[in-house]
Structure 1
């Protein structure tokens, strides 16, 4: 018996009946020989962490564009916080920690530069249907590994595609929009828990808001610090979830859920839509719009930039020219987009 098979056997002995066993994955698009050491979901986790797209997250905006302070979150640190929260919940519920972590680590691989302003920009200039969760799936299936994709398992791909909620409901009304695994559902909750906490933390640090402006009901129920709020949210979902009609339902108490909704609304109104943040987002959309137009009309520049990003094989996969430009821009980091914009549109001094 291999090390992987021994671990798969151990999973059956301790995992909840609602957890997704590694040995029972629906498999990959392309069949592979199983690793003798790692389970299928452990392999997926490694492939995500070693990908170019994952490394680029360190220079992609979470909320505050090009922050100079060392302690502001980036898309990478957000991802790591989501993974930590999700794994803590999965462990307490005896779900598959490796599957949970793989989904969490890959959920934002398709996020654009400049945060949600970049996503909004690509909706306007490329397609109204553009979304970072679908782009994340495209990254792992088409763009990574020089056009070969990462060939991840069905469960990880499903969780990444269905993690997103925007400003909508945490649990979608349509069952088809929900992840097929309990682990994927945990990541949806962990994502909002993470960003509510760290975006509030960063907003206070940047003086966009003051701590005393946070609604009293949120502080009273959730706590006054990042650690207190995260702990309250994790404990609540762990102890409020239940089995209904032989199905495992992730739930939160009405008190904590209400406090989270209030905090979420407060952040949207006072941080994400604040003049300080909004003005920078307008600038970011302008940068991406002008880059898109230039790359669309300068194929030599486009192919050169694709090569730099190790994405040159993308142009051979049959997609439209517009789709290729969108893929390149969505893959850029904030600083890559800024540097390219400067090189193209700013005058170069004569020596």
Structure 2
């Protein structure tokens, strides 16, 4: 039998070695629903474990990062992207003596609500669903409501807040407005770690896919950040840690590195994400998502049959959106083929 003092001992150790700016597990603002403490694990450890064991987390392995349904073994998926974000964020948190468990939990959960086909799926749902759609909000909805057959994961406030505030699109890399910042430094780190991860690995995948060549990368980016995936990450992470420590633990990048990251991100949008070769497949993917969405809105019986639900837990539009957002690329493709394409005639 585990003694109840073990978790409390871990919490005391955490308080003794973490920075004054860290978020302590023992001082969490709590969960949506009160529940007994674990005798062994601290609160943010439990959140991390719940996320890893969730169905939504497992589905990330078959969701697009940039290249749709890649057959090559070395392209990133939404899962491998998530793991890279978690590793980068934990490195930053450890260097700054912040809470690694909290940082990791936020990082592992930040994309749980992402759609099939990457941002193509997100864009089309935002266009056709009343009230719009954003994957960060869907990630929060996933952990609060959709997981565990409607029970949700009942995560702590700090993890939920970090998941909601991680998204930035083409906005500021480090937000200046307080309403756009996570309430914890750990959550703010995940936002930047997400950008560090994708602006580096998307370059690598785009070169692998023949969309760009190494010589296409802006010279300033190669000079300031490095020419390899590892050198780019090391430069950005090291700069973030050093500058943050210089500025009294206010998350900061040097002006030069921040400017270079913005240049690299814009390069990716213009030359990779909006590249005609990539966009051609994105438009096809958007059509698949839209047709599935409207098909299920029109045919309530088919929707209930496909999902296995016997009743509605929300409006039909909201439930169809949840179902579509939760799909993997391959499930969406197979379902589309089954619903919209004629079956092959077989003669034996």
TM-score normalised by structure 2 residue count: 0.96
Please report how far the alpha carbon of residue 257 of structure 1 lies from its aligned counterpart in structure 2 after TM superposition: 0.9
Partner of residue 274, structure 1: 275
Native 8 Å contact 2:312 2:319 kept in 1: no
Distance 2:70 2:217 in 1: 23
1:121 aligns with 2:128: no
Distance 2:307 2:82 in 1: 25
Distance 1:243 1:224 in 2: 27
Partner of residue 249, structure 2: 248
Please report how far the alpha carbon of residue 304 of structure 1 lies from its aligned counterpart in structure 2 after TM superposition: 2.4
Secondary structure at the aligned position of 1:348 is classed as coil
Partner of residue 66, structure 1: 69
Residue correspondence of structure 1 range 133-282 to structure 2 within 5 A: 133-242=136-245, 248-282=249-283
1:336 aligns with 2:339: no
Consecutive unaligned residues of structure 1, counting only runs of 5 or more, are none
Distance 1:273 1:189 in 2: 22
Distance 1:177 1:232 in 2: 25
1:305 aligns with 2:300: no
CA RMSD of aligned residues (A): 1.2
Partner of residue 327, structure 1: 322
Partner of residue 27, structure 2: 24
* Alignment deviations for residues 82-134 of structure 1 (CA, whole Å, 9 cap, x no partner): 00000000000000000000000000000000000100010111135310000
* Alignment deviations for residues 59-101 of structure 1 (CA, whole Å, 9 cap, x no partner): 0000000111000000000000000000000000000000000
Distance 2:330 2:305 in 1: 17
Partner of residue 293, structure 2: 292
1:348 aligns with 2:325: no
Distance 2:130 2:211 in 1: 32
Distance 2:94 2:306 in 1: 42
Please report how far the alpha carbon of residue 139 of structure 1 lies from its aligned counterpart in structure 2 after TM superposition: 0.3
Distance 1:194 1:162 in 2: 17
Distance 2:130 2:86 in 1: 30
Please report how far the alpha carbon of residue 254 of structure 1 lies from its aligned counterpart in structure 2 after TM superposition: 1.2
Native 8 Å contact 2:6 2:39 kept in 1: yes
Distance 1:286 1:104 in 2: 30
Distance 2:35 2:306 in 1: 32
Partner of residue 76, structure 1: 79
Aligned residues: 343
Distance 1:24 1:344 in 2: 51
Native 8 Å contact 2:96 2:241 kept in 1: yes
Native 8 Å contact 2:44 2:156 kept in 1: yes
Gap change, CA 1:88 and 1:170, over 3 Å in 2: same
Partner of residue 94, structure 2: 91
Please report how far the alpha carbon of residue 170 of structure 1 lies from its aligned counterpart in structure 2 after TM superposition: 1.8
TM-score normalised by structure 1 residue count: 0.95
Distance 2:175 2:316 in 1: 34
Distance 1:243 1:198 in 2: 28
* Alignment deviations for residues 228-264 of structure 1 (CA, whole Å, 9 cap, x no partner): 00000110000001476xx631001111111111101
Distance 1:77 1:225 in 2: 18
Please report how far the alpha carbon of residue 271 of structure 1 lies from its aligned counterpart in structure 2 after TM superposition: 0.2
Consecutive unaligned residues of structure 2, counting only runs of 5 or more, are none
Q: Which runs of 4+ in 1 moved over 4 A?
A: none
